[in-house]
A = this chain, B = another copy of it.
């Protein structure tokens, strides 16, 4: 019997299969420069090639880890030197844009930004957007059900996927390349592969929905003096902007001050406010939309929901405002720094954030807590730094996790809003999901991947120990 490297090369050609040494020249992922470990890295050029790869791996009980753009933050892309890595990097084509049906057919390895630009060239718009747009792939966006800054209007990646093609662990190709907004012809199988982080199948191609491109973008940065005003502000802006509000991004004062400290971003507003919010709307008519946006801001100022506001007067000014939200390089001076991504009902958000801040403070008097979030989605991100010399980072991280995640159980919150579970949050899944739910997840995993070869150990644990 050939070794697996030889067998894969025989099937796909030498170019498509990198050996252990070549693989080691790559970084593990976007965040971790350590050498990538894998028995081999395969880059299939088509669904059919991937199907052959999976048949080989399945026959050999060979574990497989899937790589997209490697920008995920929960270690779902982590491999060992015993794994075969499947990278979608040779499947990057935008196969077709249907301007009438407003759909795009695209391969999984295409970068999000390339897709956004291709849509724009046709006068159309792909609404998923997130900071990693230049590196992340649409296949990764599907596998993690990516969110980002436009979810309040356009939904998460799941709601933008009309159809997809996936390869199961045994090499079976499930092609559900639906192109219609409505299709109730049997079970909606694509849902199995969206957000399951490559544990049930490998997505290779997809049909995504496109929207008409907006004719105007209006943005404002506002200051808010108490957290109680955030929900009514959200509601009032949404009501006044009708269907056009696309972002409502809140920043806690601590976060804002840290990223606008001298030497970092320039603050266009006084830096001493309790909260800051970026509101953005995309509409059909530059003149009307600007006037409506202005009127809405005046109304919330008059109603004392906000205390100050600044409207960017150029694209560059708009970008500088967004940079405050998206670029938190300034926080990296604090080490260790733990990033969180949780969600909970909006009405509980402020009290929760305060509870976490207080308990961190109690644990570590010099700890700092920097919060921001997609408030309208119930989604908070925050950074925690314990503020003590890091002798044992893993232990500190686990203690921080405990303080952050534990209160979510009582509130019906989620330990992952948009980043996924991967390896990093697996231990905390039970905070958000019941034993019956986790058992049903395991049942699905066992059914689709009875040999547990696809991204094994990601998302759910204890698979091997609980076979039915």
Contacts and interface: CB of A to CB of B under 8 A. Distances in A.
B379 A181 contact: yes
A244 B440 CA distance: 39
Nearest to A163: B412
A419 B244 CA distance: 30
A455 to B, nearest CB: 13
Interface residues of A, number: 96
Contacts of A86: none
Which of A155, A178, A215, A282 has the most chain B CB atoms inside 10 A of its CB? Answer: A178
B183 A343 contact: yes
Interface in A427-460: 429, 432-434, 436-438, 440-441, 443-444, 447-448, 459-460
A190 to B, nearest CB: 9
Given A189-B441, A242-B244, A436-B172, A419 B184 contact: yes
A195 B212 CA distance: 28
A54 to B, nearest CB: 13
Contact of A182 (B151, B153, B168, B182): B151
Given A153-B243, A292-B285, A412-B179, A459 B421 contact: no
Nearest to A157: B184
A243 B447 contact: no
A260 to B, nearest CB: 26
A187 B195 contact: yes
B155 A433 contact: no
A374 B182 contact: yes
A175 interface: yes
Contacts of A247: none
Interface stretch (A2-10, A231-239, A358-366): A231-239
A347 interface: yes
A346 B100 contact: yes
A188 B158 contact: yes
A210 B437 CA distance: 25
A276 to B, nearest CB: 20
Interface in A383-401: none
Contact of A415 (B158, B185, B200, B283): B185
A32 to B, nearest CB: 21
A186 B429 contact: yes
Given A180-B344, A414-B180, A186 B441 contact: yes
Contacts of A103: 345
Interface in A164-222: 168, 172-189, 191-192, 194-196, 200, 212-215
A83 interface: no
Interface string A251-277: 000000000000000000000000000
A330 interface: no
Contact of A447 (B151, B413, B447): B447
Nearest to A177: B412
A288 interface: yes
B347 A98 contact: yes
A283 B242 contact: yes
Nearest to A173: B436
B379 A180 contact: yes
A228 to B, nearest CB: 11
A348 to B, nearest CB: 9
A152 B212 CA distance: 12
Contacts of A244: 242-244
Contacts of A200: 187
Given A175-B437, A285-B292, A187 B239 contact: no
Nearest to A153: B243
A417 interface: yes
Contact of A175 (B145, B156, B188, B434): B434
B414 A188 contact: no
A243 B283 contact: yes
B185 A242 contact: no
23 contacts: A101-B345, A101-B378, A151-B181, A151-B182, A152-B181, A153-B243, A173-B436, A174-B434, A175-B436, A180-B343, A180-B413, A182-B343, A182-B377, A182-B414, A184-B195, A185-B414, A185-B416, A185-B425, A187-B440, A188-B194, A239-B284, A242-B242, A242-B283
Given A101-B347, A180-B417, A188-B194, 5 more contacts: A155-B159, A172-B440, A187-B200, A187-B441, A447-B447
The list of the 3 closest CB pairs from A to B, nearest first, reads A243-B243, A242-B284, A180-B378
